[in-house]
Amino acid sequence: MADDEHEVNGDSDEPQQKADDSSQKKSAKHDSGAADLERVTDYAEEKEIYSADEFKGAMSLIGDRRNKEVAEKMAKERELAKVSISKEDVDLIVRELEVGRSHAERTLREHSGDVVQALISLTN
């Protein structure tokens, strides 16, 4: 009898059930969209972390190369410093070719003190 009263008065549970169903569908659709968005943001964050790791690796590699080059240059400078050169040869190169004293000394050291080879190198 109570059911008859609701139907007679125009109160039916059907519109309310339809509203509940549509709100559940919207909620499910919203939850699905939120899950998709979360997957996309997770992917973007992982990619960002991976890129940062690659960048750190590249910077480390560049730093290692630079350190190696500096070490090689220092070793070469030490080897050149060991080569003995005569002051007269340096003066000759400075006077004849009008180059700086440090440049003349370095060229002589690079050619193991051989003044002829140093002069040829500086004139070419």
pLDDT tens, residue by residue, 2-59: 444 444 555 555 555 555 566 666 666 666 777 777 887 888 888 888 888 888 888 9
Task: Please report the pLDDT score of residue 1 as a whole number.
Answer: 47
Task: Please report the pLDDT score of residue 31 as a whole number.
Answer: 67
Q: State the DSSP code for 83.
A: S
C-alpha to C-alpha distance for 49 and 54, rounded to whole angstroms:
9
- The crossing angle, in degrees rounded to 10, of helices 115-123 and 87-97 is 20
**Span 104-123, average pLDDT:** 92
What's the CA angle centered on 121, arms 98 and 108, to 5 degrees? Answer: 75
Q: Count of alpha carbons within 13 Å of 2, Cβ hemisphere only?
A: 1
**Span 84-91, average pLDDT:** 92
**Span 77-88, average pLDDT:** 89
**Which of 112, 113, 107, 106 is CA-nearest to residue 88?**
113
To the nearest whole number, what is the mean pLDDT of the chain? 80
**Span 68-77, average pLDDT:** 93
Rounded percentage of the chain residues whose pLDDT exceeds 90 = 39
